[in-house]
Amino acid sequence: MTSHDVVGKLRRITGERSIGHLGTLDPMATGVLPLLMGKFTRLAQYFSSAEKSYTGHIRFGFATDTYDAEGEAAGPDSGPELALTLEQVRNAASRFHGLMDQMPPAFSAKKIGGTPAYKLAREGKPVELKTAKVQIASFEILSLEGAEAGFAMSISAGGYVRSVAHELGQDLGCGGHLSSLRRTQAGVFTLENAHTFAELEPLAGDEAALEALCIHPRNLLPEMPSVTADEAVLGRLRNGAQANLPEFSRAPLVKVFAGQRDLVGIAKRIAGTLFQPIVVMG
């Protein structure tokens, strides 16, 4: 199932046409796929820098053209004579930490002259990608069974776990590829508060029940303080006018609420407690 398939299925369950996902999850991968529905799609830009966490497995012995188990073998298979130790793999993995230059996979959604790289790769055309800066907060090799290592990783938005698996295999001299991947967290969205289609499908048409499963709006974008405004102030903000809000931190952006749950929009601090609305949701 692709991320696009997930959006289509959720549209059928909820009846909501305006749905978008935050960061594509490869069809092979499982785990957290955050989705914004209705007016909340207007907030997508503010989630783009969220760090993501994963668990998964890297299979050593040969590389693939896609850097994961979906691709064709690209390089000799080391076969049964491959004899890596956990210490060897951990030592090689230790360099993948902090701010790094990373080469995206040829089979990726990165655009080259407006065309996704994977389309060029599938057609056998040259794919000339540029390295990108990624921040790897942590990369831990948890286990090694035969030729397969279990790992946990936290990486910045736009980073490719597949590229790390591929490069680690190169460093060890035996090739390697990502054999399984599970996203455990994307920003404030975690596996613990995720829901399966089996849970959602019986609630089709029940708007209140579906909304109860969503993350509370005040828990979204935790870097922005929440502030509740009265009707006079909300009227000004809804009309695009500046207004004073009872918010005394130094945060540049705040979430503005009418009551406890109704998120009206995002406002930018002009000076002191004077704010300018930059996203109005209703």
Task: Give the residue numbers marked as catalytic.
Answer: 26
- How many angstroms separate the CA atoms of 68 and 183, rounded? 15
Q: Which of 188, 168, 179 is nearest to 90 (CA)?
A: 168
Secondary structure element (H or E) that encloses residue 148, with its range? strand 148-155
| AA letter at 228 | T
For strand 111-112 and strand 30-31, is the pairing parallel, antiparallel, or unpaired?
unpaired
C-alpha span between 57 and 150 (Å, rounded)? 4
Cα 49 to chain center, whole Å?
Answer: 9
Radius of gyration, CA atoms only, the chain: 22
Task: Name the residue among 11, 175, 27 with its Cα closest to residue 107.
Answer: 27
Place of tokens 């490719």: 160
* 206 in Cβ contact with 214 (< 8 Å): no
